[in-house]
């Protein structure tokens, strides 16, 4: 439901399908869709179930334009970005988009053999964040890295095996620079060539006995560490700041 709500508000909605029951529960969404210029079509419960691709459909299905903008325009002015490389699990990918949005990132890049951002599970896991920030689909991960560098972003690879400690990177000011984080799949991580192409690799420290973090959790820690470093630097540079 939140995804439909955000699509109506931000996604350039094309059409909204609704069952009579859902229309009665959420008349404000139908009104907003009409005001936005979208077509509103009433459908049966069975039709809505077929369209929604979920086991418990809520009776509302939004049709939106295809996502995807050029990397250059998406990254222009961004101080933080997430690059998903070879991430095949749609729930993880959508959650990273949601985390990136919450952390204030300027864009998310789906690079290489990463799941389609239009995948239904990915859309639902993003909870509407797919409509809040630019989404880039780049078949070649090397081009994604190049685009980030062209936009003035330092490229850091999240890698638990080879990376330096995230706390150390935060303490020495590494995270204060505009940054693009590379995140690989949980099963395989990042390819060696991308680790070599990055400006550095960083590992999330594990202070307890957990073997590892899943992709979405690791991405949240990394993106928020950068966001915090950026805010602290901006506060220190603001007029009247005490240093």
Q: What is the mean pLDDT of residues 160-179?
A: 92
Out of 3-7, 51-55, 200-204, pick the least confident: 51-55
More confident residue, 12 or 225: 225
- Count: domains in the chain: 2
Read off the pLDDT of residues 98-112 as tens digits, 9 standing for 90 and up.
999 999 999 999 999
Look up tokens 């303490």; give the residue. 171
Asked if 47 and 55 count as a contact pair (C-beta separation under 8 A), the reply is no
**136 and 215 share a domain?**
yes
Give the model's pLDDT for residue 63.
Answer: 84
Residue 243 inside a domain? The answer is no
Give the model's pLDDT for residue 236.
Answer: 73
CA pair distance 206, 204, nearest whole angstrom: 6
- Residue 157 CB contacts under 8 Å (≥ 6 apart), including other chains: 163, 181, 182, 190, 194, 195, 198, 200, 201, 202
Q: Return the bridge partners of 200, or none.
A: 156
Instruction: Give the global pTM.
Output: 0.86
**132 and 174 share a domain?**
yes
Give the model's pLDDT for residue 238.
Answer: 64
Residue 208 inside a domain? The answer is yes
**197 and 100 share a domain?**
yes
In the chain, the percentage of residues whose pLDDT exceeds 70 is: 96
Instruction: Provide the residue range defining the domain that includes 49.
Output: 2-63
Asked if 117 and 215 count as a contact pair (C-beta separation under 8 A), the reply is no
CA pair distance 64, 14, nearest whole angstrom: 5
Give the model's pLDDT for residue 67.
Answer: 84
- Residue 234 CB contacts under 8 Å (≥ 6 apart), including other chains: none
Give the model's pLDDT for residue 203.
Answer: 94
Give the model's pLDDT for residue 214.
Answer: 92
Read off the pLDDT of residues 12-42 as tens digits, 9 standing for 90 and up.
788 889 999 989 999 998 988 888 888 898 9
Structure-block tokens of residue 125: 């896991």
**150 and 59 share a domain?**
no
Final residue of a domain: which of 63, 86, 107?
63
Asked if 87 and 117 count as a contact pair (C-beta separation under 8 A), the reply is no
Residue 103 sits in a domain of what CATH number? 3.40.1280.10
**124 and 230 share a domain?**
yes
Asked if 191 and 85 count as a contact pair (C-beta separation under 8 A), the reply is yes
**29 and 80 share a domain?**
no
Average pLDDT, the chain: 90
**32 and 116 share a domain?**
no
Residue 35 sits in a domain of what CATH number? 3.30.1330.30
pLDDT band at 243, cuts 50/70/90? very low
Give the model's pLDDT for residue 80.
Answer: 98
Asked if 138 and 110 count as a contact pair (C-beta separation under 8 A), the reply is yes
Query: How many angstroms separate the Cα of 209 from the Cα of each of 10, 185, 203, 206?
Result: 42, 22, 16, 7
Give me the helices (H) in the chain, please. Answer: 2-10, 20-25, 27-35, 45-52, 71-75, 90-103, 120-126, 141-150, 166-171, 192-197, 215-237
């Amino acid at each position: 439901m939140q995804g439909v709500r955000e699509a109506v508000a931000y996604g350039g909605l094309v059409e909204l399908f609704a069952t009579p029951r859902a229309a009665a529960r959420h008349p404000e969404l139908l009104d907003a869709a009409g005001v936005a210029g979208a077509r509103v079509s009433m459908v049966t419960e069975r039709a809505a179930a077929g369209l929604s691709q979920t086991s418990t459909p809520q009776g509302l299905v939004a049709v939106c334009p295809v996502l995807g903008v050029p990397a250059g325009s998406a990254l222009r002015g961004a101080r933080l970005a997430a690059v998903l490389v070879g991430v095949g699990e749609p729930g993880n990918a959508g959650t990273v988009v949601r985390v990136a949005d919450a952390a204030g990132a300027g864009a998310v890049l789906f690079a290489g053999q990463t799941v389609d951002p239009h995948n239904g599970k990915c859309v639902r896991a993003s909870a509407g964040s797919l409509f809040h920030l630019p989404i880039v689909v780049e078949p070649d991960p090397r081009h994604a890295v190049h685009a980030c560098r062209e936009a003035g972003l330092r490229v850091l690879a999240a890698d638990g095996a080879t990376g330096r400690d995230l706390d150390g990177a935060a303490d020495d000011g590494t995270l204060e620079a505009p940054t693009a984080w590379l995140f690989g799949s949980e099963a395989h991580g990042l390819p060696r060539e991308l680790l070599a192409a990055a400006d550095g690799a960083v590992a999330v420290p594990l202070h307890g006995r957990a073997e590892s973090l899943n992709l979405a959790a690791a991405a949240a820690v990394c993106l928020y560490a950068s966001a915090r470093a950026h805010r602290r630097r901006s506060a220190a540079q603001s007029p009247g700041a005490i240093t």
